[in-house]
Structure 1
Amino acid sequence: MEEAFVKTPLGVAKITGDSHGIASIIVLDTEEIRTDIIPESLEDAVYQLNEYFEGIRKQFLLDLKPEGTEFQKRVWKALQNIPYGQTTSYLELSKTLGDIKAIRAVAAANGKNPIWIVIPCHRVIGSDGSLTGYAGGLHRKQWLLEHESPFKQQSLF
């Protein structure tokens, strides 16, 4: 596996993968990039992630190879169907997967998502509209949802 690091508005993202696909994208609690070298196999992921943060990209076109259980992979696949700028609830996601009683398992799989932003687990909120758990921190979840919102907050001054 190869690694690349990219600065984002939410911290440094570490991308791991190879020519077969992206295995993980995680956000680090640091502003320091460990290396500026970007392996050829990860160049497209770095490019697309930068486009996302610039507000240009709304859909990722990357080969993904996350490691997890079959159930987790089903949840992560379902997450990829949540459109940019929209949200769903854990309850609705469990209904989509065909088992309303699996809501806690769905939430747990969502929390173990290894591919930050590209598999958009930040688009899952509580049934009451609240921002609930997010591995990267609720401040990042809120930032991402605002970034994707079609209704941008205007400054009064």
Structure 2
Amino acid sequence: MRESVNASLPEPLGIDRLDTPIGTALLVTDCKGVLCALDWEGYESRMRELLRLQHGAVVLREGPAPREIKAALSAYFNGELNSLCAIKWRLAGTAFQRKVWTALTEIPPGTTVSYGALAAHLGAPKAMRAVGHANGANPISVVIPCHRLIGADGSLVKYGGGLERKRWLLAHEGVRLSSARRRS
């Protein structure tokens, strides 16, 4: 179940960590155990800023993420690519951002889509940059698979957690990247 809201989160949010093959993931959940953010250690300030922009002032307190979230993420990193569908998440953001984020979840594992193709799919073929900005404002990495967006020429472009992580995630999902597509 996914919930898209455009309201502040008055309750404190819990922050937990999960070791993955590509680094320690930061998991932020609300009082109902719904995922509100997933980012990488070393990018916590960016994650906090995205939470602030989307929800207003939030308080993060150390606390365990639900076992179901950790289990689904661990299963994904162990090769069960569709396990992420079981994770409940909650977003704020603009209507356009939420539309982009929802569309990202419809891109199957092992598949990439260009920014332009996603813009066209959304009925706004000239909104490639807006799609890029919305993609960059995604607070829930991996689960909302922003790593599946690539440049029109097949090149890897921008990933909030670093291009090496994006490369790893795509390879993990079975995407074959040619040397021309591996430009940083």
TM-score by length of 1: 0.85
Unpaired runs of at least 5, structure 2: 1-12, 44-61, 177-184
Matches within 5 A, 1:1-157: 1-18=13-30, 19=32, 21-29=34-42, 38-39=64-65, 42-60=66-84, 61-149=86-174
Contact 1:48 1:57 in 2 (8 A): no
Aligned length: 144
Residues 47, 59 of structure 1: alpha-carbon distance in 2 compared, 3 angstrom cutoff: closer
Cα distance between partner residues in 2 of 1:148 and 1:57: 7
C-alpha displacement of 1:101? 1.2
**Structure 1 runs, 4 residues or longer, greater than 4 Å off:** none
Percent same amino acid among aligned pairs?
A: 42
C-alpha displacement of 1:57? 3.5
Instruction: Please name the residue that 1:154 is paired with.
Output: none
TM-score by length of 2: 0.73
Contact 1:11 1:29 in 2 (8 A): no
Other structure's SS at 1:119 match: coil
C-alpha displacement of 1:94? 0.1
Please give the root-mean-square deviation of Cα atoms over the aligned residues, in Å: 1.8
